[in-house]
Amino acid sequence: MSPKTVFVTGGAGYIGSHCIVELLQAGYNVVAVDNFTNSVCEDGEAPSLKRVEMITGKPVTFYQCDLLNKAKLREIFLKQHIDFVIHFAAIKAVGESMQFPVMYYENNIIGTIYLLEAMKEAGCYQLVYSSSCTVYGNPQYLPITEDHPTGNITNVYGRTKYFIEEMLKDVSAADKEWNIISLRYFNPVGAHPSGHIGEDPTKAFTNLMPYMAQVAIGHKDSLTIFGGDYATKDGTGIRDYIHVVDLASGHLAALQKLSNSVVRYKTYNLGTGQGYSVLELIDNFEKATKTKIPYKIVERRLGDIEQIYADVRLAKEELKWETKYSMKEMCEHFWKWKTMNPDGYRKSSIQTNGSG
């Protein structure tokens, strides 16, 4: 059987690039697009994807293309024979989304509409969508299952993720050709174990582990912990951190599910099922990387929830997927990427740290 081709939107980004490694290693062909709104571009190419090619020894067909460029998107679909789509492309900064709601609604929602139109025209109906645990809003119970109510969200970014889920549900209800899986990611962290690819956004980032690594490497003085008075074991917020390579493998499991069955529309949580507090994450990071993270505890961050972690039984049972990386490895691999590439992809010369 000839290899299947997967069209990956946002392929130059953090999760997309890790997913493409897994896809290539599993024997899929990959056609990726990105507009570099949040990933590094060198001469129209994606250094992240050059690294992916180096890791796998396989080529990636890449187009610099904005999903809002309907004509170009359509052209790519008609030129390439696409079997599946994995849709990562989105802008995701919560604070920015509150300042520029129209930009978020346009990019994330209109971009998805154009993608669905291009897919339908090309006769491709198999889609995996990057959703988020943010669609649950403030948890009513824990661990959170896929049937927990959604939509009670306090930020625009989160609402784009939720509205797209609703749209995909409607699309699949209206036309039985569609086979769609939404994957609700919890908190992706870490990097590829090789240290050659990792997270390198062009927009400012505020997530915990990248910020912690900035402190550890000396680019920032100390970490600010948002809130020490939550009703949790040590007063700090709890999240379900998942290694980005485990997250990537969840997409391959979803493709298998789409290949083997008529799903119509289904959602799955992708997390480890285990919650870690901010202080626990700092402790694990310090031990795994033999660094010191000075911190101070300040007021809670507006819009933050106290704690969230996934019930992952559905993905285990129906996708036959489970995580394999520990918290220690999440920290070690992130640190390896950071120390091998202190300037991220910007200086695309590849350094090694002697450990592989």
Give catalytic residue positions.
157
SS3 316: helix
* Stretch 160-189 residues interacting with ligand WQD (CB under 6 A): 187
Closest CB 152 distance from ligand WQD, rounded Å: 14
Query: Would you count residue 76 as binding ligand WQD (CB under 6 A)?
Result: no
The token duo for 333 is: 């691999």
Query: Would you count residue 237 as binding ligand WQD (CB under 6 A)?
Result: yes
Q: Which of 304, 313, 317, 347 binds ligand WQD (CB under 6 A)?
A: 304
Considering only the stretches 34-42, 231-239, 250-258, 275-283, report the one whose residues sit in contact with ligand NAD under the rule CB under 6 A.
Answer: 34-42
Distances (CA, A) of 99 to 66, 93, 102, 205, 301: 22, 10, 9, 16, 16
Q: Which of 6, 23, 28, 34 binds ligand NAD (CB under 6 A)?
A: 34
Q: Where are the alpha helices (DSSP H) in the chain?
A: 14-25, 47-56, 70-79, 94-99, 101-104, 111-122, 156-174, 208-217, 244-260, 278-289, 313-319, 327-340
* Stretch 18-57 residues interacting with ligand WQD (CB under 6 A): none
Size of the site for ligand WQD (CB under 6 A): 19
Closest CB 187 distance from ligand WQD, rounded Å: 5
Closest to ligand WQD by CB, 239 or 257: 239
DSSP 150: -
The token duo for 3 is: 């290899």
The token duo for 184 is: 């609700």
Query: Would you count residue 285 as binding ligand WQD (CB under 6 A)?
Result: no
Considering only the stretches 173-181, 220-228, 284-292, 317-325, report the one whose residues sit in contact with ligand WQD under the rule CB under 6 A.
Answer: 220-228
d(CA 312, CA 182): 14
The token duo for 326 is: 């520990």
Distances (CA, A) of 303 to 148, 156, 163: 19, 11, 19
Tracing tokens 């900035």 back to the chain, one arrives at 214
The token duo for 120 is: 């339908």
Q: Which of 148, 239, 243, 266 binds ligand WQD (CB under 6 A)?
A: 239
- 261 Cβ neighbours under 8 A, 6+ residues apart: none
Q: Which of 84, 226, 268, 276 binds ligand WQD (CB under 6 A)?
A: 226
d(CA 3, CA 76): 19
Considering only the stretches 62-70, 76-84, 172-180, 332-340, report the one whose residues sit in contact with ligand NAD under the rule CB under 6 A.
Answer: 62-70
Closest to ligand WQD by CB, 258 or 281: 281
The token duo for 147 is: 């049937």
Query: Would you count residue 67 as binding ligand WQD (CB under 6 A)?
Result: no
Q: Which does 36 bind (CB under 5 to 8 A by kind): ligand NAD, ligand WQD, none?
A: ligand NAD
Q: Which of 5, 29, 35, 182 binds ligand NAD (CB under 6 A)?
A: 35
* Stretch 70-99 residues interacting with ligand NAD (CB under 6 A): 88-92
Q: What track of x and - describes contact with ligand NAD for positions 125 through 144 (by CB under 6 A)?
A: -----x-x------------
Q: Which of 21, 91, 94, 330 binds ligand WQD (CB under 6 A)?
A: 94
**CA within 13 Å, CB half, 294:** 6
Query: Would you count residue 210 as binding ligand NAD (CB under 6 A)?
Result: no
Query: Would you count residue 224 as binding ligand WQD (CB under 6 A)?
Result: yes
Tracing tokens 């139109």 back to the chain, one arrives at 117
Between β-strands 223-226 and 265-270, what pairing exists: parallel, antiparallel or unpaired? unpaired
Q: Other C-beta atoms within 10 Å of 120: how many?
A: 15
d(CA 98, CA 85): 29
Binding site for ligand WQD (CB under 6 A): 92, 94, 132, 134, 158, 187, 206-208, 211, 223-226, 237, 239, 278, 301, 304
